[in-house]
Amino acid sequence: MQSVIDRFIRYIKIDTESARESDTYPSTLKQFDLAKLLESELKELGLTDAATDEFGYVTATLPASAGKEGIPVVGFLAHMDTSPDFSGKDVKPQFVEDYDGGTLVLNEEKDIRMSPEEFPDLKKYIGKTLITTDGTTLLGADDKAGVAEIMAAVEYLLEHPEIKHGPIKIGFTPDEEVGSGVDHINVEAFGADFAYTVDGGEAGEVQYENFNAAGAELTIHGRNVHPGKAKLKMRNALLIGMELNELLPVFERPEFTEKYEGFFHLFLFNGTVEEATMTYIIRDHDRDKFEQKKDLIKKAVDFINIKYSAKVIDLKLDDQYYNMREMVQPHPEIMAVAIQAVKDVGLEPIIEPIRGGTDGSRLSYMGLPTPNLFTGGHYYHGKFEFIPVFAMHKAVETLVRIGELVAQK
């Protein structure tokens, strides 16, 4: 099982940060660096059809054990990019062995510390070995842990032919973090009957629900006048943006929500008095509440425009993805296999909604039911990201067991 750790460390040192504003696919060409490495490693393992296409998708097939060729084909997928929310360049992982439950010093020089009071998930791993950042980058467990775990599971199955399994399709995608991870994937050519993304969090998670998601881009048209002569003439785009934000419910922001509670998240606000832009993401698991949230931001924009007797705000509102529950629930056997596999490796299944999205959400609506499995990581997209080593081992065991269970059906 050491293979998964070695792979993980190798992969996170390759910068694959994606970009929201880009006219290429993938959004950053450096994602091909990891794609080509994975293709090469898959071929070294003996998966002769391993290939990277023009869009950066890496695919391969682990052939079935003798006599298991005709059973349903399962797919395992993970994404190669890391979030543009925080730097993924020059990642320097640190190992904390036998964690004692105290405050972790990630970076003495910069005084970056991580206490269990602020990050309570740490308390679950006293006595375990953790992999952390050095406080200057994210770690990349989202989702290079998933990539490493799939690769290690393939390697393990090849080394243990006594474990019988059917055909297994492998897929590594770019640009998941910017919402376009499966824009160009060919589901029919991929060839799986059902699949799992390995892109979750805590060990034991098995997820089939995620947010419905939309993106809102607002352009605010102000009027700049010399402040000494501005009375009843200036129209400050920045202040209008703040006014718009105050029309949205305070307690429907990410910092005040959990579980099935949706939110409006303002994550970008740029501009001047003359013109400003605001970017929101809108999320809710419930489709009706999701539509209500979209309607609310439209009404807020209309209110501001009426107030100023002019179209001072232009709104562009686009749906991004939907809750996969609707597509996965008709296939309960897919969740049942994953839950049984988690139990079989000695973990308690955690069935909770994803407070985000995965490639599996869109894949499910493209005809490939794709729940999500844990990687083991915590606090993604920032310098406090960490992953316990034992959880990565358990993820590999879970994937191996899924392959075995599918072959027993």
Residue in this structure with the two tokens 């003996």, named with its chain if needed: 46
81 classed as catalytic: yes
Q: For 180-236, give the DSSP string.
A: -TTTT--HHHH--SEEEEE---STTBEE----EEEEEEEEEE-B---GGG-TTT-B-
Residue in this structure with the two tokens 């105290």, named with its chain if needed: 102
Tokens linked to 116 = 């269990």
With residue 113 as reference, give the H or E element that holds it. Answer: strand 112-114
Q: Are 72 and 406 in contact (CB under 8 A)?
A: yes
Nearest-angstrom CA–CA distance, 61 and 191: 9
Residue in this structure with the two tokens 């297994």, named with its chain if needed: 168
Q: For 232-293, give the DSSP string.
A: TT-B-HHHHHHHHHHTS-GGGSGGG--TT--EEEEEEEEE-SSEEEEEEEEEESSHHHHHHH
Q: Are 196 and 402 in contact (CB under 8 A)?
A: yes
111 classed as catalytic: no
Q: For 300-347, give the DSSP string.
A: HHHHHHHHTTS--EEEEEEEEE--THHHHTT-HHHHHHHHHHHHHTT-
Query: Which member of 15, 81, 359, 397 is catalytic?
Result: 81
Local structure of residue 378 (DSSP, 8 states): B
Closest to 60 (Cα-Cα) out of 81, 39, 89:
39
Peptide bond preceding 143 in cis form (omega within 30 of 0): yes
Nearest-angstrom CA–CA distance, 227 and 406: 70
Cα–Cα distances in Å, from 39 out to 157, 167, 175?
A: 18, 18, 17
Local structure of residue 65 (DSSP, 8 states): P
Residue in this structure with the two tokens 């467990």, named with its chain if needed: 141
Query: Which member of 176, 205, 284, 397 is catalytic?
Result: 176
Residues 6+ apart with CB under 8 A from 362: 181, 182, 321
Could you give the residue numbers annotated as active site?
A: 81, 176
